[in-house]
Structure 1
Amino acid sequence: MKKTEGGTPYFIFIVLLGAISGTLLGDILGNHIEALSVLKLSYQIGMDTPILLNLKFMVLTIGLNFNVNIMSILGIILAIIIYRKF
């Protein structure tokens, strides 16, 4: 198989795209099919309140939060498999 020439930025883009599409698909399926409502369950990883750094001339707000669900993990795994294949 041919190795992708994109490198690390391309890999990160593909993984993020897989996570976003997996989350979107999980939300759509969870909203429309009652039996698949478990796909919408998400777990929040990150900070509840952001860190504020006041430098008198500038205020910096730093925060990071991830909402992880089953479909986003499956999307990431599928994206990695597709990246390795092509």
Structure 2
Amino acid sequence: MNSYVELVRAPAALTVLGDTVAGSAAAGLKMTGRRLLLPLSSVAFYWAGMALNDWADRNLDARERPERPIPSGRVSAGAALTTGAALTAA
């Protein structure tokens, strides 16, 4: 599980949560109803982008960042692509 947390750069998603809440506040809108889903969907897109980026950069990362989840073999390229696609669909 830690490999997937690293793949999607989970801790960095905290900034995404703050961005959506700040945007809502700046627009004078309360975070109620369906707006409560915006931070969650933003995090899903962020995580999807991180997984898909690592999938796309897997050959470069094998040379320059071999400790990352895909080149180190902790997450397969197919699993990273599936993770990115599933998070995009979410």
TM bucket, shorter chain:
0.3 to 0.5
Structure with higher strand content: 1
Q: Which has the larger radius of gyration?
A: 1
Normalising by structure 1, report the TM-score.
0.37
Higher relative contact order (CA 8 A, sep 6+): 1
Normalising by structure 2, report the TM-score.
0.36
